[in-house]
Structure 1
Amino acid sequence: MLITIRERASGVIGWTVAGVIILVFAVWGIGSYFEGVSEIIVATADKIEINQETYQQAMSDRRRRLVQMMGRNVDAELFSSTAFKRQVVEELIDTTLQNETLHASGFRISDAQLAALIQNTAVFHTDGQFDRDRYELLVQNSGMTIQGYESYQRQQGVVDQLVRGLGQSAIVSTNSIDKAWKLLDQRRIASYTTLEFDNFLDDIQVSETAIEKEYQANLDSYFKPASIQVDYLKLSVEDLGTRLDVDEADILQMYEDNPDRYRQPGSRSASHILLKVDSDATNAQIDQVRQRASEIVARARGGESFASLAEVNSDDKGSVKRGGELGVIRPGTMAKPFEDAVFVMGEGEISEPVRTQYGFHVIRLDRITESRVQPLDQVRSEIEAEVRRLRAEEQFNELAEILGSTVFEQPDSLEPAADHLGVKVMRSEWFTQDAGTGIAEFQVVRDAAFGNEVLIDGLNSELIEIDQDNLVAVRKVDYRARRQLDLNEARDGLEKRLRAVEASDKMEKAGEDLVARLKSGADWDELLIAHKLARVRLPETTETLLEPLEQVVARVVYAALVPLSGQIAYGGERISPARYAIYRLERVEFGDPASASEEDRLGVEKILSSRRGGEMVIGWRQGLRKVAKVQINDELL
């Protein structure tokens, strides 16, 4: 109705109608206009209503998280499935019951606690300090508002209070810590090989009958999702900067006003002797290496050749041939304890033993190069870029206000705003609510394009903040509704899917057959050679498990039953749709509780307490749900 009035309100009649509406609002209040319009309730839990807006937001959040985790591998049709919608609303009910109960019980997170929680989150830091701009950018890029993110963190903080409280109430015995240490510090000596999905695809043929049967049985899975194409305007600091001229006077002024910014940091040249410490070394072994390093310090300070000492004692194979010389060291290039020591030493000084993750270092400082302000010619391009950006940011802030007001006041076209900005209206490729390219790669843009204002009412969107340097406004060009794919359109996908399922099953069957043969006494090496499979040694410590494949295989191996002494255990598992792993577990070496330091034991105790607290919270949530009166309106999902 309001849109119709706006489109037709012209002249005396139009303004008379508008005047009547204003009078009604003034006398009875704007709320009377909406009397009789009831809120849509998706579910209730103990009389607490969950409205459609909250449910849709939860759906959007879950979609965004899945797309972030899985990228383009996620099946867009998953999001429209009944199972997905049901899972979202069930979780929403559990969370609602939890939050209401905690609030009623007096659990709170203060503003100061919330601020500390956010400011201590490492991902929001720049150079080790909380960066407000980075915080806002990352939150907005995730598709959340600052208010929504902080509300979520406040709720999560309350849950963490409960977990900690329950965990602290749990008594962790010495025996439990010992048992946990044995498991946490264990080593499993194993080898593995993998069967690859691609090796089973070649001989698979899918019949037309199988394709048609799959299509008819799963019609709901073969849809083309709704898509939209939009026109858009983009206001960008970077784009504005390319259109600006920078005066030489501005460059000189920036250089003279900020000498420290263009100062080249000092450097040091040093030599060292490294005595390695094994990652599993005991405290006694560490002390032995430290004592040896102290003896080398005394000998070096006593006049012995540092280069000779390095050649005989250093475990750093890279520098030992140069008498321990490391060359130039600049801030941020070495392990922090090493760097901290080097930059407070005097030329020719020999350090006390310095401990890093590599072991103990004996350091000699060979040369100091002081910091200096770089000549203008060396930093001119950097200063020009900075001045250009500052000017562009000023212009950006001015134009953002103009763009925002113009797209709102003239909502039937982007052209007036484009004229004000001096830019052209651009057109996107087609995109869906869950994926897109170009401007549509951003979730906030897709959400706006599929919102009622743009999609249904046909108006300009409000300004969309992609990040602090980029704003866009969009307008619908065309829309294609979600539709069923016919068999010919779905055929390629159907055939690919059926071949993949059969190849994956054949791969798993082949893997199971090989494992059965190994368990029956077949020789590991002979079997691998016969089937042209590579044998890979599984790294023995978590520090050396660097490859994703190794990490997945390690989870399988460490979940396997411990073989009897002297026996070898074989097993296998499909670790992904495209890969089956077969392992040979030779032995298990459990951790020794006696070797655990007090710090280690406290860490294990915290882990056990937190785990028990988490288990108690799960039980508590299940108890809340069990006694709650819950109603879900499935037809509204």
Structure 2
Amino acid sequence: MLQKIREGSQGWVAKVIVGAIIVTFALFGAESLVSYFQSGGNDVAKVNGEAISRQAVETQVQRGIRSGQVPPEQERQYRAQVLDQLISQKTLDQYAEAGGLFVSDTQLDQLIVSLPEFQDQQGRFSDQLFTTRLAQAGYTPAAFRRELRADTLRRQIQQGLAVSAFVLPGEQQRLAALQQQQRSFRYARLTPADLAEPVTPSDAEIQKYYEAHQDDFRRPEQVKVNYLVLNQQDLAHNVEVTDAELRQAYEQDRKAAPRRVSHILVTYGDGDRTEQQARARLEEVKAKLAKGEDFAKLAKTYSDDSSSAAKGGDIGVIQKGFFGQAFDDAAFALDQGQVSQIVKSDYGLHLIKVTDIEIPSFEKDRAALVKEVQLAQSQDAFNEAVQKLTNDAYEADDLASVAKEMGLTLKSSDWFSRDGGGEGVLSNPDVIAAAFSPDVLEDGYNSEAIETDAQQRVVLRVVDHRDASVLPLDQVRDRVTAAVKAEMTRQRLKAQAEQAVTSLRQGETVAGLDWQRVDAVTRDGADGVPQPVLEAAFGLPRPAADGASYTSVELPDAVAVVALDKVAAGKPDAQSADFTRRLAQRIKAQNAIQGLSESLQSEAEIEKR
């Protein structure tokens, strides 16, 4: 199937598929990443002078949260991970550029149409799947192409390192034998119930722990704000719309609506025919169409676009920008069923037919049209309101008077920090930055009107502020007590386990151990066996005859005593030996890639802000 796609990519449609991507996703401007990759005053880091913007970080963070992969309470840690990842990627990008690595537009086109994520059940590129999946991910076409190109270059570097990794035959044999080695062992859990008496921290122990772990009980700098939200939707609701205005808007939308298009392409200039000969060929087609012959049948006979000719010239649903200005001007001037005059493009000469226009009926689209017209007609009023809000907020010493003057609701927030932000519009990075800016926080001014999206502005004023500080022990005593109790319990269980291991090694019997037996398992593990226990068992030395090797290992809620009873040599077959070889090569490649990344970062000038 991929070979078929590659062959098809030589056709005219594949050559312009990226143009299709660019326009298709222009609809998702609300998630535009274009500005995220531009330098500016809101940068969070620089790598060898190249900026990483705050928006780039926030975009990745919000994607992780919206996808459900990152719990909201881990947002702060995830943000730091994202920044580190972007720094690493930036060093690799610079390394690729310095090394002259390159991905052509044609290579990028072929990669896009071959990605299985964008193919239908028949393995064909699907514009609908492409549209849906990139929209859900929040990508604009420019950002998608940029990230895909950069990722492809990074993979070129990684693959170059990977193919240089090799494993010697002796290494392969030893690794395969170790991979298939089988071990039989026992393990017993020690839980808080196994302690002689429950742990009860003293006041002195609580105080000591609190003083040693004050960073765990630190409250970040926080503010409370009053704020106003100006939303164009609120103004738009008051706009009365006539049926004539709705129909006019519908016709405008219909003219620009996606449409299904067929074409007959005749190429020239390749030594086979001249432009004049190409025009004569299409004039012949036009004459046959005038006599009532079928466009689809003529496309199969006359079109030089091999990828669409077999489908009667059908090139699918397009939007403006797909195939260049001349093609667009012709295609979007046609109504359903109409055929264009001869159109000249970079690819040759075309006859274009619109077979369908993808737009709901007027009645089905009425509600959306009402909102569209209301927004359009309220734009001037909204712009005036934004200007008034800006002026009034600048001149006022509070927000209550501004709210009264403009008929807005004055809202108040709870405490929030730079990292976490507040709820609703207060989670917007620009709003957070404004709340902690010197003019607002230190000088006590109202903020400027902050654009949170094209139809909304926010103005805020700090009404309370508290510096970062360690919370008093009385406020966090329950948390400290729980932490001390958990730590003391862990230490006592660990000591009890180590004592049991010492006694077992001396040949003594230890009462109260509830052994769980695991027989003849490989490093792949067995159901129900905790991974730390498995790793401990495979980390123990081979036991003496009729003896056992012992160790202890910590688990999330317990400590386990592990006894290794038997080690059986592995007998790798050809399949497992090949797997081990590939695994070893992959590990070596990963180490090489990690080494390169660390080296590039150590040599780079990295400035975090």
Q: TM-score, normalised by structure 1?
A: 0.49
Provide the residue aligned with 2:551 in structure 1: 571
C-alpha offsets along residues 375-399 of structure 1, whole Å, 9 cap, x if unaligned? xxxxxxxxxxxxx998877777778
C-alpha offsets along residues 263-315 of structure 1, whole Å, 9 cap, x if unaligned? xxxxxxxxxxxxxxxxxxxxxxxxxxxxxxxxxxxxxxxxxxxxxxxxxxxxx
Provide the residue aligned with 1:103 in structure 2: 97
Shift of 1:170: 3.1
Given that 2:205 and 2:484 are in contact with CA atoms closer than 8 Å, whether structure 1 keeps it comes out as no
Relative to structure 1, the CA distance from residue 64 to residue 584 in structure 2 (aligned partners, 3 Å threshold; closer, same or farther) is: farther
Provide the residue aligned with 2:590 in structure 1: 614
C-alpha offsets along residues 132-178 of structure 1, whole Å, 9 cap, x if unaligned? 355336534xxx88766765554443333223222223333333333
C-alpha offsets along residues 227-278 of structure 1, whole Å, 9 cap, x if unaligned? 6677779999xxx9xxxxxxxxxxxxxxxxxxxxxxxxxxxxxxxxxxxxxx
Matches within 5 A, 1:38-437: 48-51=48-51, 54=53, 71=71, 95-110=89-104, 131-132=129-130, 135-136=133-134, 139-140=137-138, 151-152=146-147, 154-196=149-191, 202-208=198-204, 210-211=206-207, 214-215=210-211, 218=214, 221-224=217-220, 226=222, 410-411=385-386, 412=389, 432=417
> Which one-letter code corresponds to 1:617 in the other structure?
I
Given that 2:498 and 2:552 are in contact with CA atoms closer than 8 Å, whether structure 1 keeps it comes out as yes
Deviates more, 1:198-207 or 1:584-593: 198-207
**Does the residue aligned with 1:521 lie in a helix, a strand or coil?**
coil
C-alpha offsets along residues 187-234 of structure 1, whole Å, 9 cap, x if unaligned? 333333333468769422132575267338736851245366777799
Q: Give distance in 2, aligned partners of 1:98 and 1:107.
A: 11
Q: Give distance in 1, aligned partners of 2:420 and 2:217.
A: 18
1:483 paired residue among 468, 489, 502 = 468
Shift of 1:95: 4.8
Provide the residue aligned with 2:564 in structure 1: 585
Provide the residue aligned with 1:274 in structure 2: none
Shift of 1:402: 8.3
Shift of 1:182: 2.1
Unaligned runs of 5+ in 1: 1-36, 241-387, 415-422, 466-470
2:538 paired residue among 550, 558, 564 = 558
**Does the residue aligned with 2:484 lie in a helix, a strand or coil?**
helix
Given that 1:102 and 1:158 are in contact with CA atoms closer than 8 Å, whether structure 2 keeps it comes out as yes
C-alpha offsets along residues 30-57 of structure 1, whole Å, 9 cap, x if unaligned? xxxxxxx996998776xx2154x54785
Given that 2:183 and 2:568 are in contact with CA atoms closer than 8 Å, whether structure 1 keeps it comes out as yes
Given that 2:43 and 2:54 are in contact with CA atoms closer than 8 Å, whether structure 1 keeps it comes out as no
Given that 1:231 and 1:428 are in contact with CA atoms closer than 8 Å, whether structure 2 keeps it comes out as no
Given that 1:215 and 1:494 are in contact with CA atoms closer than 8 Å, whether structure 2 keeps it comes out as no
Relative to structure 1, the CA distance from residue 437 to residue 561 in structure 2 (aligned partners, 3 Å threshold; closer, same or farther) is: farther
Shift of 1:464: 5.7
Q: Give distance in 1, aligned partners of 2:585 and 2:231.
A: 52
C-alpha offsets along residues 408-445 of structure 1, whole Å, 9 cap, x if unaligned? 7644499xxxxxxxx999987765555589758xxx94
Unaligned runs of 5+ in 2: 1-38, 238-362, 391-398, 400-407, 441-445
Shift of 1:608: 2.6
Given that 1:62 and 1:88 are in contact with CA atoms closer than 8 Å, whether structure 2 keeps it comes out as yes
Relative to structure 1, the CA distance from residue 219 to residue 601 in structure 2 (aligned partners, 3 Å threshold; closer, same or farther) is: closer
2:574 paired residue among 590, 596, 621 = 596
Given that 1:139 and 1:145 are in contact with CA atoms closer than 8 Å, whether structure 2 keeps it comes out as no
Relative to structure 1, the CA distance from residue 40 to residue 624 in structure 2 (aligned partners, 3 Å threshold; closer, same or farther) is: same
- Say whether residues 1:535 and 2:519 are aligned partners: no
Relative to structure 1, the CA distance from residue 521 to residue 452 in structure 2 (aligned partners, 3 Å threshold; closer, same or farther) is: same
**Does the residue aligned with 2:521 lie in a helix, a strand or coil?**
coil
Relative to structure 1, the CA distance from residue 38 to residue 135 in structure 2 (aligned partners, 3 Å threshold; closer, same or farther) is: closer
Shift of 1:105: 0.9
> Which one-letter code corresponds to 1:447 in the other structure?
P
**Does the residue aligned with 1:194 lie in a helix, a strand or coil?**
strand
Shift of 1:571: 1.9
Matches within 5 A, 1:499-518: 499-518=485-504
RMSD: 5.6
Relative to structure 1, the CA distance from residue 615 to residue 501 in structure 2 (aligned partners, 3 Å threshold; closer, same or farther) is: same
Given that 2:428 and 2:452 are in contact with CA atoms closer than 8 Å, whether structure 1 keeps it comes out as no
Q: TM-score, normalised by structure 2?
A: 0.50
Given that 1:434 and 1:446 are in contact with CA atoms closer than 8 Å, whether structure 2 keeps it comes out as no
Count of residues in correspondence between the two structures: 411
Q: Give distance in 2, aligned partners of 1:216 and 1:164.
A: 47
**Does the residue aligned with 1:170 lie in a helix, a strand or coil?**
coil
Q: Give distance in 2, aligned partners of 1:536 and 1:156.
A: 47
> Which one-letter code corresponds to 1:535 in the other structure?
Q
Given that 1:192 and 1:584 are in contact with CA atoms closer than 8 Å, whether structure 2 keeps it comes out as yes
> Which one-letter code corresponds to 1:557 in the other structure?
A
**Does the residue aligned with 1:131 lie in a helix, a strand or coil?**
helix
Provide the residue aligned with 2:342 in structure 1: none
Provide the residue aligned with 1:256 in structure 2: none
Q: Give distance in 2, aligned partners of 1:397 and 1:168.
A: 55
Given that 2:70 and 2:78 are in contact with CA atoms closer than 8 Å, whether structure 1 keeps it comes out as no
Q: Give distance in 2, aligned partners of 1:123 and 1:227.
A: 45
Q: Give distance in 1, aligned partners of 2:429 and 2:193.
A: 38
- Identity within the alignment, %: 16
**Does the residue aligned with 1:450 lie in a helix, a strand or coil?**
helix
> Which one-letter code corresponds to 2:93 in the other structure?
N
Given that 1:228 and 1:432 are in contact with CA atoms closer than 8 Å, whether structure 2 keeps it comes out as no
Provide the residue aligned with 1:520 in structure 2: 506
Shift of 1:484: 1.3
> Which one-letter code corresponds to 2:49 in the other structure?
E
Q: Give distance in 2, aligned partners of 1:537 and 1:401.
A: 71
Given that 1:182 and 1:590 are in contact with CA atoms closer than 8 Å, whether structure 2 keeps it comes out as yes
Q: Give distance in 1, aligned partners of 2:154 and 2:481.
A: 47
